[in-house]
Structure 1
Amino acid sequence: MKVNELQPRKNATVTVKVVNKGEAKQVMSKDGSSHKVADVLVGDETGSILFSVWDDNIDNVSEGDVIDVTDGYVTVVRGSMRLTLGRQGKMEKTDKTIDNVNTENNLSNKQVEDNYRPRRFNSRRF
């Protein structure tokens, strides 16, 4: 799969090059635990996207690295697509090469309609 083929709320297996690594920020999860997250601009010759990298994985990514993301997931954050590892995803450095990254086609800069609503189950008993 190529970056320009990524779709909101879909699984993603893609090889990307790290263009820019942002500073890690502390965030609180819904359960009150503290985590670090960094936005990393990644891409290939077809486009680029922000990759949200969490906790220990932040130190495993450097500018210029080429990484394989397997079973990742494309989320939508405030109308912007982001690549993430999700629950099942994995990432690892690879010897593959990507010479040019198309940062002009940044999928995270495009507004995306997000009509997704989590399914709520009715807890009433009949």
Structure 2
Amino acid sequence: MQIKDIKDGQQKIELTAEVIDKSEERNGISKVTDEAFRVANATIKDDSGTILLTLWNEQIEQVRVGDKVQISNGYVRSFRDVLQLNSGKYGSLSVLV
């Protein structure tokens, strides 16, 4: 799949892309579980475009600018009218070597 083909609400996304930017980490508390979490966004690109990738907790340290990442079974949601790709708890995010 290519980034240009991704739509809001889409699931089961399989994608390989390069990390071109990464935001600062933010901390929060889940309203559902009351647990602390860390989150950051990375901008990833392929030949067709760019999209934000949400990084949770340990994923933040795994991913660096310049890395090539593979997302398996990802999903997309729109947050503040911006598409964001997530690996979610049923998907995976891998850094390719």
Using structure 1 for the length normalisation, give the TM-score: 0.72
Residue by residue, what CA displacement relative to the aligned partner does 1:25-50 show, whole Å, maximum 9, x if unpaired? Answer: 00111122110000101011100011
- Structure number with higher strand proportion: 2
Runs (4+) of structure 1 exceeding 3 A deviation are: none
Percentage of identical aligned residues: 26
Structure 1 segment 1-126 matched on structure 2, within 5 A: 1-11=1-11, 12-30=13-31, 31-95=33-97
Gaps of 5+ in 1: 96-126
Show CA shifts across 1:77-118 (max 9, x none): 1222100112211011224xxxxxxxxxxxxxxxxxxxxxxx
Name which structure has the greater RCO, CA cutoff 8 Å, separation 6+: 2
Larger Rg: 1
Give me the CA root mean square deviation: 1.0
Paired letter, 2:8: P
Q: What is the distance in 2 between the residues matched to 1:79 and 1:93?
A: 27
Q: Which amino acid aligns with 2:20?
A: V
| Number of equivalences | 95
Q: How far did 1:23 drift? A: 0.6
The one-letter code sitting in structure 1 at the alignment partner of 2:60 is I
Gaps of 5+ in 2: none
In 1, the alpha carbon distance for the partners of 2:77 and 2:62 equals 21
